Amino acid sequence: MSKQKRIVAAIGGNALYPPNNPSFEVQKDLITKTCRKLADIIEEGHRLIITHGNGPQVGNILEQNERARKVVPSMPLDVCVAETQAQIGYLMQQSLQNAFHKRGMKRRVTPVVTQVLVDSKDKAFKNPTKPIGPYYKKSRAEHLMKERGWKMKYDRRGGYRRLVPSPKPLKIVAMSSIKKLVSQRGSVVIVAGGGGIPVIEKRGKLVGVEAVIDKDLASGLVADELDAQMLLTITDVRRVSLNFGKKNQKGLPKMTVDEAREHMKGGHFPPGTMGPKVQAAVDFVKNEDRQAIITSLGHLKRALDGKDGTWIVFE
């Protein structure tokens, strides 16, 4: 068994939401399976703080808001993100608790609704690039652009789609409460779901903004503020690769922070997929006491033993 660590585990959307618009039961089954693997790590003695994505789930809630808009007042994006934190947080909480119970382990799981501060002057606000929510017909899209000032883009796959900014996370709001929970023996905390609810500061007041924060960058920030020993990013590939998808693709068992920066410059890690994962790892691994792993759920256990995945180390 590897040395017991304080680990922030960032769970990718694909470990929580199967493809092709699955029923609730199918979603729940996948969450149950994923949580069993997380319980494996906790059983080894590691302290886990869990973050997670919310891509398909927030898309679904936005679609629900749109379809019901004539009878139910629509919620802004920040509120929809909040809703996904509890939707996913609750289901993970229950699945984890049941996995612990089966193993005779005493643990309490607490999902915390989490705001994350972003800079109102972040350049992302001037150039929204992240497509989100339903596809709209032209007439409806034009109405929304005019009425609400949305930026939209035509996508051949289904029509017009809203683009929202993805600003950089600066600070986890109410972090000291999260720290208190994390420090409690037997406590597993779920925080900053979907990258957190984005808020800006306006004359000292917090105000929600219609944006989404990259889940991996937010997870790195959580790990940094908690001074975790490890940032564990769980995604759909076994390890990070150079020349991904090409003939000369090469998996990386290990890279130093400097090497990772080099590869990023070389354009090996595309934005929106592997890019932010490696970026988060590089930002987090500030010294020799910190490490990051990027791997898939299936290779998780071996990766933690140093036998799989990609390790990102200080030097």
Place of tokens 């699945």: 95
According to the binding rule CB under 8 A, does residue 51 interact with a copy of itself? no
Cα torsion 296, 169, 175, 231 to 10°: value is: 20
Tell me the residue length of the chain: 315
Q: Does 86 bind a copy of itself (CB under 8 A)?
A: yes
Exactly one of 126, 157, 205, 247 binds a copy of itself (CB under 8 A); which one?
205
- CA–CA separation, 283 and 257 (whole Å): 9
Enumerate residues 172-201 that contact a copy of itself by CB under 8 A.
173-174, 176-178, 180-181, 184, 187, 197, 199
Residue 120 touches a copy of itself, criterion: CB under 8 A: no
CA 143 to chain centre: 32
Contacts 24+ apart (CB under 8 A), 198-201: 198/78, 198/81, 198/115, 198/116, 198/118, 198/167, 199/78, 199/115, 199/116, 199/117, 199/118, 199/173, 200/117, 200/118, 200/119, 200/120, 201/117, 201/120
Tally of CA atoms within 13 A in the half-sphere of 220 that contains its CB: 24
- Residue 112 binds to a copy of itself (criterion: CB under 8 A): yes
Specify the residue, 187 or 273, whose C-beta has the smaller distance to a copy of itself: 187
Scanning 34-42, 106-114, 210-218, 232-240 for contacts with a copy of itself by CB under 8 A, the matching segment is 106-114
By the rule CB under 8 A, 129 interacts with a copy of itself: no
Residue 34 touching a copy of itself (CB under 8 A): no
Tokens of residue 277, six digits:
């994962």
Minimum CB separation from a copy of itself for residue 183, in Å?
A: 9
Q: What minimum distance in Å lies between the beta carbon of 72 and a copy of itself?
A: 4
* CA 245 from centre of chain: 23
State which residue, 20 or 139, has the beta carbon closest to a copy of itself.
Answer: 20
Smaller CB distance to a copy of itself: residue 163 or 175? 175
Site of interaction with a copy of itself (CB under 8 A): 21-24, 27, 60-61, 63-68, 71-76, 78-79, 82-87, 89-91, 93-94, 97-98, 101-102, 108-113, 115, 173-174, 176-178, 180-181, 184, 187, 197, 199, 204-208
